[in-house]
Amino acid sequence: MATVPCPTCQRPVEWSEAAPFRPFCSERCKLIDLGAWIMEKHVIQGDEEPGIGGEDDEGPTVPPRH
């Protein structure tokens, strides 16, 4: 059976139905990883969308009323 390293602790995890938390070795490692995403220790790099959260962001544009 194929094994993969647990993303949190690097222990080998069997990639099968016998490992319910795969790719993690345990619920603990799964929750540690989730916490890292919540605390923004893990990020997916990408282009920042213009006008969202930038220093020059003036907020939403409201159309004039007639």
Which domains are seen in the chain, by residue range? Answer: 3-38 (3.30.50.10)
pTM given for the model: 0.62
What is the pLDDT, as a whole number, of residue 8? 96
What is the pLDDT, as a whole number, of residue 62? 72
Each residue's pLDDT tens digit, 20-57 = 999 999 999 999 999 999 999 988 888 877 666 555 55
Q: Considering only CA atoms, which of 42, 6, 43 is closest in space to residue 25?
A: 6
CA distance 9 to 4: 11
Contacts (Cβ under 8 Å, ≥6 apart) of 9: 25, 29
Token couple for 57: 């962001």
DSSP state of 31: H
Farthest-apart Cα atoms in the chain, separation: 69
